[in-house]
Structure 1
């Protein structure tokens, strides 16, 4: 038994060895035969194929290599074309050819080759670019194959059973109808008896749809597509779907109906149905016009949809497309914001209208209802005309403010809290594709109500906390009627009643302006907070800016207003802002223990500075508080510690400020007609220096009952015309200039008798110092002084120019008196001749008097002019 089993095993091994050797020899022989056949038939087949292709093609073709291959596609033989380029009809080869392919295989039966029957059974295309196009005139670029009646036996012919595509980029662009199909075909095959008039076509493949656009509307972009279809084909004119499975981005659709290939175009009578579509997947598959509204959202839930495509697709016509869909129990989650819309239910429909174009298309959502976190929204929405969309929607919302801010993507507002109620009806259109214009909103119709309660929020890059906002509004087309609107911004509060004009364009368009026409009431406006820009250490930077998107016309009533040290109460007046120019009219308020009435403007049209101007009537203002609250007007020579009294003035002012409220001193121009009553100068350095110069001890506190003058400011200089100061210390006349750098040039006239009187009163009772004047017996001689240097370090000298001017004035006055005396004496019958040396005695007399004065004060004359 063992010997018998061993023999069987040996026989089996021997048989396998013989079979292996025989098989190897057979394969080697077959390979050798096929190689010999390829050598024998190659040139002949190449000639036949090239001749027939050239005979049927109507355009230029370039091929790098043509080779007969009997092994690689065995049992089929193939003619392999490498490096193929096919030009568009009537065009030379270029970078944009009709077809470019790495390899094309034309396959035929090996035994038919031996019989001289060169009939192509299969075509395989690898790594190719196919560009099909219809021009705006409706002319295709792919009609390149000539048709010939009948075929002779043995002639080169096509009897296709299968077409294979591997790595083919396919583009179909219909410029006449604005349609575009852009696909990458990874692997696809089509099989059927393509030569027959009636046959069954099977098509399977995996694609990447880069773009599917119909009438310029993008419906699919960058989505994977799988297809598995079986169609009955009749004369290449009619295609009836027997099986139609289409999967787009993991959503499956069933395709039924038919398509007909007519001379005019493709005639559709096709239905597409999806019963278990994933809402989350479909969000990215919406038409491109709707994608911005769902960007960033993830969806859950099932959507049911049915579409019908019916009609002719040609260069001039589009088929009718209708779609109905339904969502029940859907969810939308915005991960970045945490916004969650649940229990979403709605019915939807799309129809491309009577003209079968985007211009007549409509998209509608009806019976929309969803919860938005702890709130609710419901409504109806219809979009007409996708080229210039028109909206018709009704929306009701009762939701948290923070949720609505996230939903409508208002990125300038954060940390919003409070309750918002909205019941809005809107009808309006876009004159430009995908965007409203201001005129669109003017033509729109909006009605409804809008209110909120206890609203608080923050604005990005603004340190203020906005709180306790309450409001009730009525929509009146393009405007919002303010029934009440109140709130707090920091420590400031406000209450408005009136109108927000142009509110809808302002909310939705970048270049539209909001106009407020209203009455404003406020208990407190703190501009230290409202204008605060930044804080660095102990320094606070303020910034004033006017938005070119904001205008207002307000009747204001403010109980208390502060900015820096300035405080005002009972502020009333009109304020207007238009085109970055602020205008205040008839503004009256109490400040610094007085009453002020003013009108002015701030022109903010330039970005680098503001131009400011005003006219003001100041009545009974405490000048000490004025200097304190105005920061001593940016100088330190005379401050609120030095000056006291009540001021009444008429002021005209103009100047420039930077946006950070720094003054451009060179631009300031002012004319002020002022009167100061019950005034005092205390420890004012120029007066103390004058006291030391004149050796008078009581100039550290100078009081006066009334001081009147017109002060002018220009070119960083303060001009003081001649004025008389009747004070407790001295009576004097003063004129001169004072620069913003505290450089001074004052001219003073002091009665010599006042100085001598004070020198002799050093031991007297203080109350005697304010009334008694000792006559010096010299005709009340005046002392002329000039004060230069700086306010902190004044320099005194005698004013020789002032003396000369005074002498000339006296001589003119005495000459006039003499002429008047002659006229009175002689009755004006003749004009007396003026003495030739009329002025000389007076000059000598003045000289003598000056010399007598010099013997006591040792005055040195300054002959160098002023």
Structure 2
């Protein structure tokens, strides 16, 4: 063996031997001075408290503390002077490991380097009268020599339940700390700690009436904490935290220079799932988001600001970005959805942070619903207790896209296009009491429409529907059926109130004009309404989770069309039906679900005039009718001929001449 190697080994062995001898001496010293060390530790731990520190027993542990000294305290309990009144100890711990500086032990000026508290509970409690167990803390007395005050180099927690409960201010913070390691650094009155932790947040309730943020959420993080004793602030610079499986960046600041203390928490997340993000919020907020789903993650940031004050609910501001996502809603999926969103629980500055004063706002919304593309520059949902939606919606689409939505048993659109520009303000649920208002227009052009209950097909159809608050105006309607061309306009009062509540009370005032009307083209209209069976749903519709909502919309539209009443005002230049012809026809007709009522009909026929009123009953298997007619100066021969001799051959148009003046009741 080379001489240099032998010499090196001897030196190492000598150093090890010296260390062992020194350590052995330290062991003997500690064992002989346990009472002094325990008293000194008690003194230091009591230095900043005005309470009672109970320690079950003390054991030295030189192995864990090597190269220093470790003392294990068992069954530790810390209470304040008011414990007999509130009965809440501040600290209970199965073990407290106290790591001492070895040189300070030998110099009999013991300095605690590190504290580790394990298997216990830290409980900061304030009752409804303001009585608290935090009176145990007191300001440190000034020392004559700067820097002589001992300061911890590190602190650790293992299996600790941390509870901060303030019944008076309705605050509750409850954590289970599986592991926390904190290394301390001191620069004057600025303290810095490097923290690594694993914990579970069971409650973070700034207002217990509103529920908890981060409920039962596991957290993993390594971050730093800055404490500025001059400014009386605690800050956590932005760093990475793992909340469950989600990676987020969090920063926080707490200030206690001015009471009540204030706090601000910032959260940023890239590609976080909507359900995961909602689970970080209080139940009061997340429940509002529960009907909404998204297939892809979103980007969001949140700001929470508040005060540690009675009944103070913090300000919550959340911003998010959605790109090419599928947005699930109670009324169906919105595909290719892209928009920016913002939630704030303080619409009116100074109006409080509540659901009533909350708002969700969507910017630059683009998407497609049931194959219909649409956009909305801004959508607002205000007041989450009785939500009111307000937004402007614009769309251009083929009319055939409506078949799966409102077609149902009533209409089938074969061709044509529609443009929509509507502003809506009102409730978003059937039970909402907020009055709904719609302003804007829907235009349809070049449409071919089948009206199923009457089996009537209209071609080259056009219409313009204008919404005026709660009323609807329909204009520029053009229908073409056979040789007949009809122009129509109408209005429907209180449409939005009655649509869901009582469509049977709806009355559509309808004006019809035509130069020439051939009733042979509309014989289906005089027949009983057909009940159109709804066939089996296509497989792709069955698989849609929201298809039932669309079916309800279609069914409601069918119900409205079945139950609503129509008041027709008819003005026709010429009308023909089989052999009958007339001119200058004016009529008022009421269409109801079971019958047609002729309020007043006047027309010129066969050189004279006919006025009539009556009723056509469509409730039975055959159409029963009653007509009261007043005939004046009508050529009787032409009249009999046009009526087909009233289906008899005793007296025909060949046998009669002259003018007919009569009152007739026909049934």
Match of 1:66 among 58, 61, 67: 58
- Measure the CA separation in 1 of the matches of 2:401 and 2:206: 36
In 2, the alpha carbon distance for the partners of 1:88 and 1:405 equals: 74
Match among 243, 249, 253 for residue 253 of structure 1: 249
Within 5 Å, which residues of 2 pair with 1:617-696? none
Cα offset, 1:591, TM superposition: 6.5
Query: Measured at CA, do residues 474 and 104 of structure 1 come closer, stay the same or move farther in structure 2, by a change above 3 Å?
Result: farther
Q: Show the 5 A alignment for 1:588-627.
A: none
Choose from 169, 184, 195 the match for 1:203.
Answer: 195
* Preserved contact between residue 228 and residue 244 of structure 1 (Cα < 8 Å): no
Larger of the two Rg values belongs to structure: 1
Residue 378 of structure 1, aligned match among 369, 375, 378: 375
1:478-557 → structure 2 map (5 Å cutoff): 502=497, 514-518=502-506, 523-524=527-528
Counterpart check, 1:346 vs 2:340:
yes
| Mapped partners of 2:165, 2:528: distance in 1 | 67
- Could you say which residue in structure 1 is the equivalent of 2:106? 114
Q: Sort the Cα spacing of 1:519 and 1:384 in 2 relative to 1 into closer, same or farther, 3 A.
A: closer
Residue from 374, 392, 395 that aligns with 1:394: 392
CA distance in 2, matches of 1:129, 1:33: 37
**1:145 maps onto 2:155 in alignment:** no
Could you report, residue by residue, the CA deviation over 1:346-374 in whole angstroms, capped at 9, with x for unpaired residues?
35363635236235444322222224574
Show the counterpart of 1:357.
353
Change (3 A) 1:556 1:159: closer
SS at match of 1:149: coil
Query: Is residue 2:326 matched to residue 1:297?
Result: no
Alignment RMSD (CA, Å): 6.0
SS at structure 2 position matched to 1:36:
helix
Q: Which residue of 1 aligns with 2:238?
A: 244
How far, CA to CA, are the matches of 1:202 and 1:89 in structure 2? 33
2:259 to 260, 264, 267: 264
Q: Which SS does the other structure have where 2:152 is aligned?
A: strand
Give the Cα separation in 2 of the matches to 1:261 and 1:226: 27
Per-residue Cα deviation, 1:613-665 (whole angstroms, up to 9, x for no partner): xxxxxxxxxxxxxxxxxxxxxxxxxxxxxxxxxxxxxxxxxxxxxxxxxxxxx
Whether the 8 Å contact between 1:482 and 1:500 is mirrored in structure 2 is no
Structure 1 residues 592 and 28, CA gap change in structure 2 (3 angstroms): closer
Using structure 2 for the length normalisation, give the TM-score. Answer: 0.56
Preserved CA contact (<8 Å) 2:111 2:150: yes
Q: Secondary structure at the match of 1:220?
A: coil
Query: Is the 2:595–2:616 Cα contact (8 Å) retained in structure 1?
Result: yes
> What do residues 297-340 of structure 1 show as CA deviations (whole Å, max 9, x unaligned)?
345466364x667775544767766565555x342366999946
Larger mean CA deviation between 472-481 and 84-93 belongs to: 472-481
Change (3 A) 1:278 1:594: closer
SS of the residue corresponding to residue 143 of structure 1 reads helix
Give CA deviations for 1:15-39 in whole Å, capped at 9, x if unaligned: 86x8898788777756654543343
Judged with a 3 Å threshold, the aligned counterparts in structure 2 of structure 1 residues 100 and 390 are, in CA distance, closer, same or farther, namely: farther
Counterpart among 162, 185, 197 of residue 170 in structure 1: 162
Return closer, same or farther for 1:589/1:195 CA change in 2, 3 Å cut-off. Answer: closer
Partner of 1:332: 326
1:13–1:499 CA distance, 2 compared to 1 (3 A): same
User: 1:233 matched to which residue of 2?
Assistant: 227
**1 or 2 for the larger relative contact order (CA 8 Å, sep ≥6)?**
2
Q: Matches of 1:190 and 1:34 in 2, distance apart?
A: 27
Mapped partners of 2:123, 2:402: distance in 1? 48
Partner residue in 2 for 1:191: 183
Q: Deviations over 1:412-467 (max 9, x none)?
A: x9xx998998755444579xxxx9855x33x45455678999999xxxxxxxxxxx
Q: Pick closer, same or farther for the CA change 1:47–1:342 going to 2, 3 Å.
A: same
**CA 1:316–1:263 in 2, change beyond 3 Å: closer, same or farther?**
farther
Distance of 1:402 and 1:282 partners within structure 2: 38
Deviation at 1:113, TM superposition (A): 1.9
The 1:389/1:89 distance shift into structure 2, 3 A limit, reads farther
Q: Secondary structure at the match of 2:35?
A: helix
Q: Is the 8 A contact 1:60 1:93 kept in 2?
A: no
Partners in 2 of 1:342 and 1:593 — Cα distance?
52
The equivalent residue for 2:118 is 126
| C-alpha deviation, 1:114, in angstroms | 2.4
The equivalent of 2:151 in structure 1 is: 159
> In 2, Cα distance between the equivalents of 1:340 and 1:22?
79
Residue among 19, 37, 41 paired with 1:45: 37
Corresponding position: 1:75 with 2:67: yes
Asked if the contact 2:358/2:384 (under 8 Å) is kept, the reply is yes
Residues 679-720 of structure 1 show CA distances to partners (whole Å, capped at 9, x for unaligned) of xxxxxxxxxxxxxxxxxxxxxxxxxxxxxxxxxxxxxxxxxx
Distance in 1 (CA, whole Å) between partners of 2:622 and 2:371 is: 54
Deviation, structure 1 residue 264: 0.5
Q: Residue 255 of structure 1 contacts residue 271 of structure 1 at CA under 8 Å; is this kept in 2?
A: yes
Give yes or no for contact 1:189–1:205 (8 Å, CA) kept in 2: yes
The answer as to whether partners of 2:327 and 2:334 remain within 8 angstroms in 1 is yes
Deviation of 1:344 (Å): 0.7
Q: Is the 8 A contact 2:470 2:494 kept in 1?
A: no
CA distance in structure 1 between the aligned counterparts of 2:81 and 2:397, rounded to whole angstroms? 63
Q: Cα–Cα, structure 1 residues 79 and 402, in superposed 2: closer, same or farther, change >3 Å?
A: farther
Q: 2 CA distance for matches of 1:205 and 1:50?
A: 28
Gaps in structure 1 of 5+ consecutive residues = 1-6, 457-467, 485-496, 507-512, 531-546, 558-569, 575-585, 598-866
Compared with structure 1, are the counterparts of its residues 106 and 261 closer, same or farther at alpha carbon in structure 2 (3 Å cutoff)?
farther
Q: Secondary structure at the match of 1:205?
A: strand
1:758-809 Cα deviation digits (max 9, x unpaired) = xxxxxxxxxxxxxxxxxxxxxxxxxxxxxxxxxxxxxxxxxxxxxxxxxxxx
SS in 1 for 2:104: helix
